[in-house]
Amino acid sequence: MVEIKYVKWGLANNFGDTIELNKHLPKYPNLHYRILQHELHHDFKKKTTWKDLKHDIKSFATYDKERLIFFTTHPSAWVQLFPIWYSKERGIIIDDACLIMWAVILLVDIIITILAVKWWF
C-alpha cells in the first residue's frame, strides 16, 4: 500500500512507499486528481526507471493551465523545479528526472549560444 501525505513544499513526489502532495492541492479537485493519477502511474521503485523518465517528460511538456495557475499562486510549489533539495524527514533529495531535464535544457542552450556566436561574428 502506498501512503499519501500532504506537505508544504513542491507539487507532488513519489518516493516508492509514499506519495507526497502539496497541501494546497485539494483546493483544486481536477488538478489534484490529475496529479495523483500521474504519481500513481510511476514505477513504485526506489530508483528512477526509463518509464518514470518518459512519464515525467511527457507531463512536463504538456500544457496544463490549472497547474500553471497553481505554480503562480503557490510559490512553495517551486521546489518541484529544483533537481536537488532538502527535507528534514528525507535529507537530501535528488530528482533524477528533473536533473536530466535541466541538463538537456542547459545543453540545448549552450548549443544555441555556440551556433549564434558562430553565425553572428
C-alpha separations of 43 from 5, 47, 48 in Å: 18, 9, 8
**Angle separating helix axes 29-40 and 65-73, nearest 10 degrees:** 100
For residue 85, the minimal CB distance to Zn ion (Å) is 15
- Binding residue (CB under 5 A) for Zn ion from 11, 56, 79, 95: 56
Subset of 35-54 contacting Zn ion (CB under 5 A): none
Taking the alpha carbons at both ends of the chain, their separation in whole angstroms is: 60
For residue 96, the minimal CB distance to Zn ion (Å) is 11
For residue 27, the minimal CB distance to Zn ion (Å) is 21
Q: Among residues 10, 109, 101, which one has the least CA distance to residue 52?
A: 101
- Residue 20 or residue 56: which is nearer to Zn ion going by CB? 56
CB 12 within 8 A of CB 36: yes
- Residue 24 or residue 43: which is nearer to Zn ion going by CB? 43
Give the range of 18-26, 27-35, 55-63, 76-84 binding Zn ion by CB under 5 A: 55-63
Is residue 95 within the footprint of Zn ion (CB under 5 A)? no
Residue nearest to Zn ion (CB): 56
In sequence order, what DSSP letters do the residues of 50-62 get, joined into one string?
Answer: HHHHHHHHHHHHS
Q: Which residues bind Zn ion (CB under 5 A)?
A: 56
